[in-house]
Amino acid sequence: MALVALASFSDRLAAEIARGRLASEGIDSVLFDAGLSSLGLGSISPVRLMVDEADRAEAERALGDA
């Protein structure tokens, strides 16, 4: 399983909303660097929404439909 970055967010809340959208479609995802964003450092180190490479196309569609 290889993870790829699907999207980047400057704040954790937006990243969590996108992650929830993917979960509602049955797509597993994980957030990288969310801790730094919680400290107000999202502009320096954005939150990355990561998905399995095999799920990328479906995940892009799910977020695009939102």
pLDDT tens for residues 39-61?
665 556 789 999 999 999 999 99
The total domain count for the chain is 1
Structure tokens at 47: 């939150």
Nearest CA to 26 among 6, 52, 8?
52
Q: Are 9 and 43 in contact (CB under 8 A)?
A: no
How do residues 8-51 score in pLDDT, each as one tens digit? 998 889 999 999 999 999 999 999 988 766 566 555 678 999 99
| Residue 47, domain CATH | 3.30.70
Which pTM was predicted? 0.84
DSSP 60: H
Whether the Cβ atoms of residue 24 and residue 64 lie closer than 8 Å to each other: no
> Given this model, what pLDDT does residue 1 score?
74
Q: Which domain holds residue 15?
A: 3-65
The whole-angstrom separation of Cα 35 and Cα 5 is: 17
